[in-house]
């Protein structure tokens, strides 16, 4: 378990990579750009999935599954979408291998198995889904269609980072069809709120809700809404997007419905998604030099109990005292690990569970048994106290709530401290480059200026915040008039 400790402050990206590996979340695979998500990391993802899935269903959606492959002719139908994703698509061209006549034991692609039509490995599923929806939609009675899919997608990225950007990643993508524009817009906003609420209440990561500029918009969307979080290095991470697709896909795939009045109209669409990137957000938002720090609501293990003992009899006595507590906590819905491994010493276990981000740790030994106490340590603050064992379950419940709140508050305070409202170019550059945070500034609304700022500072417009208030000002770069401030930051 020994590992090289790199501090956040020294090398943030190395710290991140080490943490992901050392906490047993994921590792690089034999496939370039693709990761293996290990059981502990996957358990966190499953918790994320479970909560989101519940919220999707509460808001009227059902799960379904569509194919991994998209025939090229379908993929190219919505032009902007196709163009936007074309350069990062994996393409299947053959369907068979055969023995290499020149090199025994090796295989080659059988040239005779060339596909009549190439198959695109989905980078996103609008094409295949809208081609399907055409057959499902005849009348206004068939609408709305509210479907979500949990799936993997492939985007052939040049450079990858565990969880943040991998060539293959897991996500969910909602795809809905509506009779009216208003309804589709409502849906887009509703799902953005689901994401925002999840990010803040479950992940304990405060997010800015906003609209993307045209440059940053999803290929094929009329409007892209997003939630943006701030990581501990001051960079922004797009944590989820919800797209208003207008009638673009309905037109591309000829999906029309008969209205109540007997007319024929194209349907309106939305799509929305979050990915395993959220794992990256979770890690980067809260963790410290000791390892992972997990918000209790998403932790696979809430409480770990480490016995301190010399003999088997002592261990048995501890187990007798602790197992009823474990049962009580589990009955209250908590996940409790009694770490009675005889192969590791307590100190080792302390360090290991800290590395893995378990929110609450109990240590109990002969001394505690004699005194009727237990040592309670909380991961977020790294504090510990000795408390009476009797009635400890109430304290633990409270502690978990505290930790959840504290993590959110801490992240919020951090973001507030690193968000700068700036009015001059000099202050803008300083906010991005020196103070390394978000710059809230006026912008003239042109893509050109946006591009220029990006070239000069590597900062992009993360979003036009939904709570933006009208304020007359002048663009930070061009000096042209602006009616409100937008959020700039360097981003992952």
Sites of contact with RNA (CB under 7 A): 1-5, 13, 17, 28, 30-33, 87-88, 155, 157-162, 164-167, 169, 216, 218, 238, 241, 273, 275-277, 290, 308-311, 343-348, 350-352, 354-355, 363-369, 375, 377, 382, 384, 458, 491-492
By the 10 Å C-beta count (0-12 exposed, 13-18 middle, 19+ buried), 343 is classed as exposed
Nearer to RNA, 33 or 300 (CB): 33
Pairing outcome for strands 360-364 and 303-307: parallel
| Residues contacting 168, CB < 8 A, separation 6+ | 31, 33, 34, 152, 153, 154
| Least CB distance to RNA at residue 452 (A) | 12
| Least CB distance to RNA at residue 489 (A) | 12
- Give the residue carrying structure tokens 């990915």: 275
Alpha-carbon span 28 to 160, nearest angstrom: 10
| Least CB distance to RNA at residue 364 (A) | 6
| Residues contacting 456, CB < 8 A, separation 6+ | 429, 477
> Long-range contacts of range 257-262, CB-CB < 8 Å, 24 or more positions apart?
257/137, 257/138, 257/139, 257/140, 257/142, 257/143, 257/179, 258/138, 258/139, 258/140, 259/140, 259/179, 260/140
- For residue 168, the cross-strand partners are 154
| Least CB distance to RNA at residue 157 (A) | 5
Nearer to RNA, 76 or 375 (CB): 375
Nearer to RNA, 255 or 292 (CB): 292
Buried b (16+ CB within 10 A) or exposed e, 270-282: bbbbbbbbbbbbb
Nearer to RNA, 214 or 413 (CB): 214
Nearer to RNA, 116 or 313 (CB): 313
| Least CB distance to RNA at residue 358 (A) | 11
Alpha-carbon span 231 to 164, nearest angstrom: 12
| Least CB distance to RNA at residue 295 (A) | 20
| Least CB distance to RNA at residue 192 (A) | 13
Nearer to RNA, 144 or 174 (CB): 174
Alpha-carbon span 328 to 248, nearest angstrom: 54
| Least CB distance to RNA at residue 467 (A) | 21
Nearer to RNA, 176 or 276 (CB): 276
Count the neighbouring beta carbons within 10 Å of the beta carbon of residue 152: 13
Nearer to RNA, 138 or 345 (CB): 345
Contact 438, 463 (CB under 8 A): no
Q: Helix crossing, 277-286 with 12-22: angle to 10°?
A: 110
């Amino acid at each position: 378990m020994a590992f090289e400790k790199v501090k956040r402050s020294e090398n943030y990206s190395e710290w991140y990579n080490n943490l992901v590996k050392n906490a047993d979340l994921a590792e690089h695979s034999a496939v370039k750009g693709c990761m293996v998500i290990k059981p502990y990391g996957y358990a966190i993802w499953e918790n994320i999935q479970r909560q989101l899935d519940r919220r999707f269903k509460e808001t009227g959606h059902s799960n379904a599954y569509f194919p991994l492959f998209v025939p090229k002719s379908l993929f190219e139908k919505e032009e902007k979408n196709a163009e936007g994703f074309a350069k990062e698509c994996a393409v299947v061209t053959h369907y068979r291998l055969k023995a290499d006549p020149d090199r025994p034991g090796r295989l080659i692609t059988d040239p005779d198995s060339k596909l009549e039509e190439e198959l695109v490995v989905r980078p996103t599923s609008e094409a295949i889904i809208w081609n399907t929806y055409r057959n499902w939609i005849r009348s206004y009675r068939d609408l709305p269609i509210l479907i979500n899919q949990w799936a993997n997608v492939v985007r052939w990225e040049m450079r990858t980072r565990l969880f943040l950007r991998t060539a293959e990643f897991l996500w969910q993508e909602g795809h809905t069809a509506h009779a009216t524009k208003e309804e589709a817009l409502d849906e887009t906003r509703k799902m953005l709120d689901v994401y925002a609420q999840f990010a803040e209440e479950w992940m304990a990561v405060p997010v800015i809700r906003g609209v993307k500029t045209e440059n940053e918009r999803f290929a094929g969307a009329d409007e892209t809404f997003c939630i943006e979080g701030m990581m501990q290095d001051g960079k922004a991470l797009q944590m989820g997007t919800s797209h208003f697709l207008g009638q673009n896909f309905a037109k591309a795939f000829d999906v029309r419905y008969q209205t109540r009045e007997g007319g024929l109209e194209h349907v309106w669409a939305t799509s929305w998604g979050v990915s395993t990137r959220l794992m990256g957000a979770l890690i980067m938002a809260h963790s410290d030099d000791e390892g992972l720090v997990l918000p209790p609501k998403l932790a696979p293990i809430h409480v770990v109990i480490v016995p301190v003992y010399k003999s088997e009899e002592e261990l048995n006595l501890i187990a007798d005292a602790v197992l009823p507590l474990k049962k009580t906590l589990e009955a209250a819905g908590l996940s409790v690990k009694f770490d009675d491994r005889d192969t590791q010493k307590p100190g080792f276990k302390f360090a290991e569970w800290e590395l893995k981000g378990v929110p609450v740790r109990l240590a109990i030994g002969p001394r505690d048994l004699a005194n009727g106490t237990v040592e309670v340590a909380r991961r977020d603050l790294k504090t510990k106290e000795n408390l009476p064992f009797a009635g400890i379950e109430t304290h633990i419940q409270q502690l978990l709530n505290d930790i959840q709140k504290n993590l959110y508050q801490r992240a919020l305070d951090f973001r507030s401290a690193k968000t700068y409202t700036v009015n001059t170019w000099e202050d803008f550059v300083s906010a991005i480059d020196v103070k390394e945070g978000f710059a809230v500034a006026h912008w003239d609304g042109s893509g050109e200026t946006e591009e220029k700022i990006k070239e000069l500072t590597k900062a992009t417009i993360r979003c036009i915040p939904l709570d933006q208030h009208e304020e007359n000002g002048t663009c930070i770069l061009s000096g042209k008039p602006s009616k409100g401030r937008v959020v700039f930051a360097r981003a992952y």
